[in-house]
Structure 1
Amino acid sequence: MNTAQRVRGILAGSAGNLLEYYDWYVYSSFTIYFAHSFFPRGDKTAELLNAAAIFAVGFFMRPIGGWLLGSAADRYGRRAALTISVTAMCLGSLAIAICPSYQQIGLLAPIVLLVARLVQGLSLGGEYGASATYLAEMATPRNRGFWSGFLYVTLVMGQLLAMIILLLMQYIFLTPQQIESWGWRIPFFLGATGAVLVFWLRRQMVESERFEKSQEKKEKGGLAMLVQHKRAVLTVCGMTLGGTVAFYTYTIYMQKYLANTLGFPKDTATLVSSASLVVFALIQPAFGALSDRIGRKPLLIYFGVCATLGTIPLLSALSGVHSPWAAFGLITCALFIASGYTSINAIVKAELFPTQVRALGVGFPYAVTVSVFGGTTEYIALWCKQAGHEGWFSYYVSACAAVTLLTVLTLKKTTTLNETTDHTA
Structure 2
Amino acid sequence: MTVGLGGGVALEAYDWNIYGVMAAFLSPHFFPSGDPITSLLAALAVFGAGFLARPLGAALLGPVADRISHKRVMMISVTAMALSSLLISILPTYDDIGVTAAVALLLIRIVQGLSLGAESGVANAIAIELAPPGKEGRYLGLIGGTFIQLGAIGASMVAFLVSASVAPEVMREWAWRIPIAFGGVLGLFIIYLRTAMPETLVNRAMHRQDELSRIQETTSGIWKTLWSVRLSLLAVILVIGSVQIANYAWIAGLPNMANTVFKENSTWVFGILTLMGLTWMVTAPYVGAFADKMRPSRAFTLLRLLLIPCFFLTLIYSEKSISTLFIVMVFGGAIVGFNMGLYNFIATTLMPRAVRTTGVALGYALGVSLFGGTSPYLMVWLQREHMTWIFPVYGSLIALLSVVVYRIAKNRGRVYIGN
How far has the Cα of 1:257 moved from its partner?
2.9
| Cα pair distance change 1:186/1:262, threshold 3 Å | closer
Q: Secondary structure at the match of 1:264?
A: coil
- Quote the residue 2:176 is aligned against: 184
Q: Secondary structure at the match of 2:134?
A: helix
Cα deviation 1:160-196 (Å, max 9, x = unaligned): 1111111111112x21222222212222222222232
Name the amino acid aligned to 2:239: M
Separation in structure 2 between the aligned mates of residue 143 and residue 315 of structure 1, nearest angstrom: 35
Q: How do residues 81-96 of structure 1 correspond to structure 2 at under 5 angstroms?
A: 81-96=73-88
Report if aligned partners of 1:77, 1:211 keep a CA contact under 8 Å in 2.
no
Q: How do residues 6-405 of structure 1 correspond to structure 2 at under 5 angstroms?
A: 8=1, 10-150=2-142, 151-172=144-165, 174-208=166-200, 211-215=202-206, 219-220=215-216, 221-312=221-312, 314-319=313-318, 322-324=321-323, 326-405=324-403
Report if aligned partners of 2:240, 2:367 keep a CA contact under 8 Å in 1.
yes
Unmatched runs of 5 consecutive residues or more in structure 2: 209-213
- TM-score normalised by the chain length of structure 2: 0.92
| Percent identity for Structure 1 against Structure 2 | 27
How far has the Cα of 1:362 moved from its partner?
0.7
Separation in structure 2 between the aligned mates of residue 126 and residue 98 of structure 1, nearest angstrom: 26
Name the amino acid aligned to 1:381: M
Name the amino acid aligned to 2:306: C
Separation in structure 2 between the aligned mates of residue 358 and residue 215 of structure 1, nearest angstrom: 15
How far has the Cα of 1:15 moved from its partner?
0.4
Report if aligned partners of 2:41, 2:377 keep a CA contact under 8 Å in 1.
yes
Name the amino acid aligned to 2:205: S
Report if aligned partners of 1:88, 1:123 keep a CA contact under 8 Å in 2.
yes
Report if aligned partners of 2:24, 2:260 keep a CA contact under 8 Å in 1.
no
Separation in structure 2 between the aligned mates of residue 176 and residue 41 of structure 1, nearest angstrom: 20
| Cα pair distance change 1:410/1:336, threshold 3 Å | farther
How far has the Cα of 1:214 moved from its partner?
2.4
| Cα pair distance change 1:231/1:25, threshold 3 Å | same
Cα deviation 1:244-299 (Å, max 9, x = unaligned): 11111122222123333444211111111111111111111111000110011122
Unmatched runs of 5 consecutive residues or more in structure 1: 1-7
Report if aligned partners of 1:250, 1:334 keep a CA contact under 8 Å in 2.
no
What CA RMSD, in Å, does the superposition of the two structures yield over aligned residues? 2.0
- TM-score normalised by the chain length of structure 1: 0.90
How far has the Cα of 1:415 moved from its partner?
7.2
Report if aligned partners of 1:95, 1:112 keep a CA contact under 8 Å in 2.
no
Name the amino acid aligned to 1:219: I
Separation in structure 2 between the aligned mates of residue 351 and residue 394 of structure 1, nearest angstrom: 28
Separation in structure 2 between the aligned mates of residue 109 and residue 321 of structure 1, nearest angstrom: 32
Name the amino acid aligned to 1:407: V
How far has the Cα of 1:334 moved from its partner?
2.4
Name the amino acid aligned to 1:265: N
Aligned residues: 408
Separation in structure 2 between the aligned mates of residue 121 and residue 175 of structure 1, nearest angstrom: 33
Cα deviation 1:19-49 (Å, max 9, x = unaligned): 1111111111111111111112321100100
Report if aligned partners of 2:280, 2:340 keep a CA contact under 8 Å in 1.
no
Name the amino acid aligned to 1:256: N
Separation in structure 2 between the aligned mates of residue 263 and residue 190 of structure 1, nearest angstrom: 26
How far has the Cα of 1:321 moved from its partner?
7.7
